Structure 1
Amino acid sequence: MTHSDILIIGGGIAGMSAAFFLAKAGKSVTVLEREDQPGYHSTGRSAALYSETYGPKIIRKMSTASRDFFITPPDGFTDHPILTPRGIIMTAAPGEEAKLDEILTEGRANGANFVSLTPAELKEIIPVINTDLIASAAHETDAMDIDVHALHWGFIRQFKSLGGTLITKADVCAISKTDGTWQVTLGNGQTHSGDIIVNAAGAWVDDIATKAGVKPLGITPKRRTAVMVDLPSDVNAHGWPLVASLDESLYFKEDAGRLLVSPADTTPTEPHDVQPEELDIAITIDRLMTATSIEVRRPGESWAGLRSFFADGDPVSAFDPADGSFYWLAGQGGYGIQTAPAMGEYAASLICGGGIPVHMEKLGITEDALSATRPSLVTGK
């Protein structure tokens, strides 16, 4: 049996970012990942975008808190920039203008560069867009694409260089606790022990909690679909920003001369190796053809990923209220990539007893917002 200060269950972006910061703080850390490779279910299937105006309030704050890391990662973290220019255009249907104005006001107050667009101005940027359905739009010019692979494997490499251990094909079968020490037994019979467990198992966090004798918090995995679409020969999408409807019913972005399209679906499902449904693919294509002049005769490759949510839509990063050695790091939904540096640093700081990092306190980030006991975690309100 090998012993570590901390056992992290889950080698996706949440688990590996926390692992890096914990190892940096001098803790001995072992990460247990059930798949052959880390990041298989959610991290590796993300079309990640960095925007400080995207997502719920706590997500927006955590995204801002991650900015410096993305721009200036540690030496040797990656060979090329994590962020590359993209931009995002949000489109508002009639009746949604006030909601868009609210987002613009908050974004500009936080330093985001927004340009308001009339439907005609939008058409100049995205010639295929159907402006009959759009009342107004806004272009966040400094939104960025995130190189998910570079970010995830940067955390992994740095974690290993600090002495951390990552074990793949580590399917957790049983968890017990004796004399204050956790024992985690894997499917191959190996047992690993640790003083603290960090539950970063994504869609499987409630299952891990149950095995540990901890009350589940009520995670709901949700399926999200993505489809690749070929563009007509007379359409050049190079340099287009990502285009997203304010009601989150569609987004698309150029990808190597094609379009990556998603209906932004959030269909509740069981935790598993999720695959795209034919109906969702058809809905994706229909929405794209309604929103644009693009005719899709045959969709390209498609895939689906899991985005996991608690009842109120916000993540949890906190010790369990009934067990101060079991830490929840889950429920990031579709925002786990863009908040990973801050979420990892935050979790490591709390686990090590350091409280909220100062630069996050200045942004108004509180433990209550990410606690495992907040009332909205149950009510969703």
Structure 2
Amino acid sequence: MSEMRNARPRVAIIGAGMAGASLAYELADAAEVLLLERESHPGYHTTGRSAAMFTETYGPAPVRALTRASRDFYENPPENFISVPILTPRGVILVADASQEALIAETLAAGATHRLTPAEAEAQAPILRGDRLIGAVAEPGARAIDVDALLQAYLRGVKARGGRLLCEAEVTALDRDGAGWRVTTPAGVFPVDTIVNASGAWGDKIAELAGVSKLGLVPKRRTAILIDAPSDPQAWPMLIDMAEAWYIKPDAGLLLASPADATPVEPQDAQPDEMDIAICVDRIETATKLQVKHIRHKWAGLRSFVGDGVPVAGFDKTVPGFFWLIGQGGYGIQTASALARLSAALILGAPIPADLKAEGVIPAELAPTRLR
């Protein structure tokens, strides 16, 4: 049953990154939606710093189910939702050295992949050192995601459907107001029926404001750099070390590289650490033919996880009207559509969409109760 009482429920979504924006879009036809963002523009901390790919082999089983269930929306978005493709062909090759043979078998078991010889991998990505590899696994169906275009499309859709976005509206207090809530921000005080905690790395901080027990959310810093490519990399796949020690992705004629770091930090405006940058350069120069002479740009973002690495979507059973939508880790963009539609159904007390069920999305596997 729904936790909503009014014919037109009032929902405050805290956080206007991809999770909050996509849910606001899915709710705005049926609810009065207020989307609150603490920064001057949405997607500042995580969404706007993501090198997202759409890959159905990435992540634990509940994540893969959400990814599969998001594909149709991304490939066939509603009319007038977006003017550019959300997904574009890219492909992924996961490369393995002599110590990673077992990982090849595990990756192949996930499906949608096939094995490559070192020479075949090098032919597709000429920066690879084939003589260092024992093999590789290709996922040709992987796609690059236009993250900014998708976020902006969701935000336009929220407005078109009657929702409101307020930036520079950091939530400073959450208080019970009868059967609902009173949300205090510098932009005003808002009475609502339901709070959605889509605040990313600040998820446990928002829970504390509401008097809700924390879930043990851990923000982790991820570093990235942009470097020159020796030739046009547009046709190259994304390259990922099988043990996730580094990755390289073609990006507008350059190469985006990362040491795939995951350093636990407090919620913050993440900045790149010089040691992580040095580690990144060393790893990619060791694994590939690249020689990094100049770093064009460097940055860091936050990816936040709960203990089992699976996103959280569901009502807190101890405090009425408090909905969790956090812990997306590195999967938040590729799963956003399915997570938003699932969350909207749960908030409104509607049936779970049939296509989500068909892809194996199980609400209990995402519910916060699993972590209590």
TM-score of the two chains, using structure 2 as the length reference: 0.95
SS at 2:39's partner residue? coil
Residue 140 of structure 1 aligns to which amino acid in structure 2?
Answer: E
Q: Could you tell me how far apart the structure 2 residues matched to 1:238 and 1:159 are?
A: 33
SS at 2:98's partner residue? coil
Distance change >3 Å, CA 95–CA 290, structure 1 → 2:
closer
Q: Post-superposition shift, 1:4?
A: 6.1
What residue is the counterpart of 2:12 in the other structure?
Answer: 7
Q: Could you tell me how far apart the structure 2 residues matched to 1:282 and 1:292 are?
A: 15
What residue is the counterpart of 1:265 in the other structure?
Answer: 261
| Aligned residue among 288, 292, 296 for 2:288 | 292
**Residue 283, structure 1, aligned to residue 279, structure 2:** yes
Q: Post-superposition shift, 1:300?
A: 2.0
Q: Post-superposition shift, 1:185?
A: 0.7
What residue is the counterpart of 2:5 in the other structure?
Answer: none
What residue is the counterpart of 2:89 in the other structure?
Answer: 85
Q: Post-superposition shift, 1:153?
A: 0.9
Q: Could you tell me how far apart the structure 2 residues matched to 1:276 and 1:71 are?
A: 34
**Residue 149, structure 1, aligned to residue 154, structure 2:** no
Q: Post-superposition shift, 1:96?
A: 2.9
Once the two structures are superposed, residues 306-330 of structure 1 have per-residue CA deviations (whole angstroms, 9 ceiling, x without a partner) of 0000011111001002023100000
C-alpha contact (below 8 Å) 1:244/1:251 kept by paired residues: yes
Q: Could you tell me how far apart the structure 2 residues matched to 1:321 and 1:132 are?
A: 55
What residue is the counterpart of 1:352 in the other structure?
Answer: 348
Q: Post-superposition shift, 1:80?
A: 1.2
What residue is the counterpart of 1:204 in the other structure?
Answer: 202
What residue is the counterpart of 1:166 in the other structure?
Answer: 165
Once the two structures are superposed, residues 173-194 of structure 1 have per-residue CA deviations (whole angstroms, 9 ceiling, x without a partner) of 1110021120011135x10110
C-alpha contact (below 8 Å) 1:4/1:30 kept by paired residues: no
Q: Post-superposition shift, 1:172?
A: 0.9
**Residue 54, structure 1, aligned to residue 30, structure 2:** no
| Aligned residue among 60, 67, 71 for 1:67 | 71
Q: Post-superposition shift, 1:297?
A: 2.4
Runs of 5+ unmatched residues, structure 2 = 1-7
C-alpha contact (below 8 Å) 1:199/1:327 kept by paired residues: yes
SS at 2:303's partner residue? strand
Q: Could you tell me how far apart the structure 2 residues matched to 1:236 and 1:191 are?
A: 52
C-alpha contact (below 8 Å) 2:62/2:362 kept by paired residues: no
| Aligned residue among 16, 23, 27 for 1:18 | 23
SS at 2:105's partner residue? helix
Once the two structures are superposed, residues 322-370 of structure 1 have per-residue CA deviations (whole angstroms, 9 ceiling, x without a partner) of 0231000000001100001000000000111124221111222212210
Q: Post-superposition shift, 1:256?
A: 2.2
SS at 1:300's partner residue? strand
What residue is the counterpart of 1:140 in the other structure?
Answer: 139
Q: Could you tell me how far apart the structure 2 residues matched to 1:39 and 1:322 are?
A: 30
User: Percent identity at matched positions?
Assistant: 48
SS at 2:337's partner residue? helix
Q: Could you tell me how far apart the structure 2 residues matched to 1:356 and 1:102 are?
A: 31
Q: Could you tell me how far apart the structure 2 residues matched to 1:34 and 1:281 are?
A: 29
Residue 119 of structure 2 aligns to which amino acid in structure 1?
Answer: A
Q: Post-superposition shift, 1:140?
A: 1.0
CA RMSD of aligned residues (A): 1.4
**Residue 125, structure 1, aligned to residue 124, structure 2:** yes
Q: Post-superposition shift, 1:131?
A: 2.6
Q: Post-superposition shift, 1:150?
A: 1.2
Q: Could you tell me how far apart the structure 2 residues matched to 1:198 and 1:353 are?
A: 15
C-alpha contact (below 8 Å) 2:107/2:137 kept by paired residues: no
| Aligned residue among 320, 325, 333 for 1:324 | 320
Q: Could you tell me how far apart the structure 2 residues matched to 1:58 and 1:364 are?
A: 8
**Residue 186, structure 1, aligned to residue 185, structure 2:** yes
Q: Could you tell me how far apart the structure 1 residues matched to 2:88 and 2:318 are?
A: 43
**Residue 237, structure 1, aligned to residue 241, structure 2:** no
Q: Post-superposition shift, 1:115?
A: 3.3
Q: Could you tell me how far apart the structure 1 residues matched to 2:352 and 2:106 are?
A: 28
Residue 23 of structure 2 aligns to which amino acid in structure 1?
Answer: A
Q: Post-superposition shift, 1:101?
A: 2.5
Q: Post-superposition shift, 1:298?
A: 2.6
**Residue 255, structure 1, aligned to residue 251, structure 2:** yes
Residue 181 of structure 1 aligns to which amino acid in structure 2?
Answer: G
What residue is the counterpart of 2:4 in the other structure?
Answer: none
C-alpha contact (below 8 Å) 2:229/2:255 kept by paired residues: yes
C-alpha contact (below 8 Å) 2:271/2:300 kept by paired residues: yes
Residue-pair matches, total: 365
C-alpha contact (below 8 Å) 2:103/2:243 kept by paired residues: no
Q: Post-superposition shift, 1:149?
A: 1.1
Q: Could you tell me how far apart the structure 1 residues matched to 2:263 and 2:172 are?
A: 28
Q: Post-superposition shift, 1:55?
A: 1.4
SS at 2:28's partner residue? helix
C-alpha contact (below 8 Å) 1:8/1:198 kept by paired residues: yes
C-alpha contact (below 8 Å) 2:37/2:170 kept by paired residues: yes
Q: Post-superposition shift, 1:94?
A: 2.4
Q: Post-superposition shift, 1:95?
A: 4.3
Q: Could you tell me how far apart the structure 1 residues matched to 2:360 and 2:127 are?
A: 41
